[in-house]
């Protein structure tokens, strides 16, 4: 009987591996092999069809830290990260808390409205924001009519305001996406926990900080890591809203990698690959820090 059970388990394991093999093969071919190739490319120089090893082999990586444009792009990216991610996640968790209330009517409609920006095409929403914040756009007209400003502001042509527009666009689009994760986490919390807190005299604020936030910590860590990952690879907004301008004041690291690869006629794929791996290391380090900080196990 024991041998029969062991044989069945072995067959189930083999069947599981058989089902996994096609997906594993595709992931290896389409993801991991290109990553390995890119790593080798990062140590090379020259045109794509005639690349040779750089001398010294770490030349592309050393060049990164002497590249003023990349340093600017890195500073811009981390500026977006530091400002946008906390605001977006706080708004997402507050909206999730509000829309998880059973007493609110039309909760489904409000949830859909908050989530809809996430379903919008990246290019479409960037073009809409570019139109709204144009010098003769709707935002300037509304502000002038409300007597908040007296002349049109060149939102996308000034470094400070252009960064603000990108941050505002990111918050508008991705808050609803993160809200869905928090809603799912809140719905897994037994409602009796909140009822018990009310009986004990806890108000809404203390309930939020002492019950909701601790129980949502795994979801918060996950969304924080995903948001960091997405922001460090930010591309569409920089390209479609400002094209990295004015004078590279809003360019991101991924945008600069694209420019080095495809945007300047002759692609510098070796240098672009080296920058990509530097971004990968940043993502990995920040993700590891977040996992360590968010780990509540003893």
- The reply to whether 213 and 246 lie within a common domain is yes
Distances in Å between the Cα of 120 and the Cα atoms of 35, 172, 239 are: 30, 11, 17
- The reply to whether 6 and 150 lie within a common domain is no
Instruction: Report, as an integer, the average pLDDT of 226-250.
Output: 91
225 within some domain: yes
Q: Which two structure tokens, joined as six digits, stand for 162?
A: 């252009």
- Spatial CA neighbour of 107 closest among 117, 92, 95, 90: 95
Question: What pLDDT does residue 50 have?
Answer: 82
46 within some domain: no
Q: In angstroms, rounded to a whole number, what is the distance separating the alpha carbons of residues 255 and 1?
A: 63
- The reply to whether 121 and 180 lie within a common domain is yes
Would the pLDDT of 135 be above 50?
yes
Question: What pLDDT does residue 298 have?
Answer: 47
Would the pLDDT of 2 be above 70?
no
Question: What pLDDT does residue 165 have?
Answer: 94
User: In angstroms, how far is the first alpha carbon of the chain from the final one?
Assistant: 41
Q: Which of the four pLDDT bands, split at 50, 70 and 90, describes residue 291?
A: confident
- The reply to whether 24 and 89 lie within a common domain is no
- The reply to whether 159 and 14 lie within a common domain is no
- The reply to whether 284 and 160 lie within a common domain is yes
Sort residue 237 into left (φ over 0), alpha (ψ -120 to 50) or beta. Answer: alpha
- The reply to whether 133 and 252 lie within a common domain is yes
- The reply to whether 19 and 119 lie within a common domain is no
- The reply to whether 142 and 264 lie within a common domain is yes
Mind spelling out the 3-state secondary structure of 213-257?
HHHCHHHHHHHHHHHHHHHHCCCHHHHHHHCCCCCCCCCCHHHHH
- The reply to whether 147 and 208 lie within a common domain is yes
* pLDDT tens figures, 40-95: 999 998 877 788 888 888 899 999 989 999 999 999 999 999 999 999 999 999 99
Q: What is the count of structural domains for the chain?
A: 2
CATH code, domain with 149:
1.10.3720.10
Question: What pLDDT does residue 212 have?
Answer: 84
Mind spelling out the 3-state secondary structure of the chain?
CHHHHHHHHHHHHHHHHHHHHHHHHHHHHHHHHHHHHHHHHCCEECCHHHCEECCCCCHHHHHHCCCHHHHHHHHHHHHHHHHHHHHHHHHHHHHHHHHCCCCCCCHHHHHHHHHHHHHCCHHHHHHHHHHHCCCCCHHHHHHHHCCCCCCCCCHHHCHHHHHHHHHHHHHHHHHHHHHHHHHHHHHCCCHHHHHHHHHCCCCHHHHHHHHHHHHCHHHHHHHHHHHHHHHHCCCHHHHHHHCCCCCCCCCCHHHHHHHHHHCCCCCCHHHHHHHHHHHHHHHHHHHHHHHHHHCCCC
56 within some domain: no
Range of the domain at 16: 2-41
Instruction: Report, as an integer, the average pLDDT of 244-249.
Output: 90
Q: In angstroms, rounded to a whole number, what is the distance separating the alpha carbons of residues 219 and 179?
A: 11
Question: What pLDDT does residue 296 have?
Answer: 59
Cα torsion through 224, 230, 232, 233, rounded to 10: 170
261 within some domain: yes
Question: What pLDDT does residue 14 have?
Answer: 87
- The reply to whether 21 and 83 lie within a common domain is no
Would the pLDDT of 137 be above 50?
yes
**Contact by Cβ (8 Å): 68, 248:** no
- The reply to whether 89 and 183 lie within a common domain is yes
* pLDDT tens figures, 171-201: 999 999 999 999 999 888 877 777 787 777 7
Residue, of 211 and 156, whose pLDDT is higher: 156
The residue written with tokens 């002497």 in the block is 66
């Amino acid at each position: 009987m024991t041998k029969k059970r062991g044989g069945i388990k072995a067959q189930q394991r083999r069947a599981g591996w058989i089902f996994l093999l096609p997906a594993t093969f595709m992931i290896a071919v389409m993801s991991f092999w290109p990553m390995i190739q890119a790593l080798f490319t990062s140590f090379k120089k020259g045109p794509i069809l005639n690349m040779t090893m750089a001398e010294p082999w770490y030349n592309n990586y050393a060049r990164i830290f002497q590249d003023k444009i990349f340093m600017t792009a890195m500073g811009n990216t981390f500026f977006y990260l530091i400002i946008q991610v906390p605001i977006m996640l706080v708004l997402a968790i507050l909206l999730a808390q509000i829309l998880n209330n059973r007493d609110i009517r039309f909760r489904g409609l409000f949830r859909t409205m908050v989530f809809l920006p996430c379903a919008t095409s990246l290019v479409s929403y960037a073009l809409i924001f570019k139109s709204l914040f144009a010098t003769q756009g709707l935002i300037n007209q509304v502000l002038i009519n409300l007597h908040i400003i007296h002349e049109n502001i060149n939102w996308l042509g000034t470094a400070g305001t252009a960064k603000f527009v990108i941050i505002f666009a990111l918050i508008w689009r991705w808050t609803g996406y993160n809200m869905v994760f928090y809603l799912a986490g809140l719905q897994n919390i037994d409602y009796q926990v909140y009822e018990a807190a009310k009986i004990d005299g806890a108000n809404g604020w203390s309930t939020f900080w002492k019950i909701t936030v601790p129980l949502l910590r795994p979801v918060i860590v996950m969304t924080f890591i995903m948001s960091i990952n997405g922001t460090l690879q930010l591309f569409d907004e920089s390209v479609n809203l400002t094209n990295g301008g004015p004078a590279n004041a809003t360019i991101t690291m991924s945008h600069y990698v694209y420019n080095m690869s495809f945007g300047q006629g002759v692609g510098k794929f070796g240098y672009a690959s080296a920058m990509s791996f530097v971004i990968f290391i940043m993502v990995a380090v920040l993700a590891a820090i977040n996992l360590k900080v968010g780990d509540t196990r003893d």
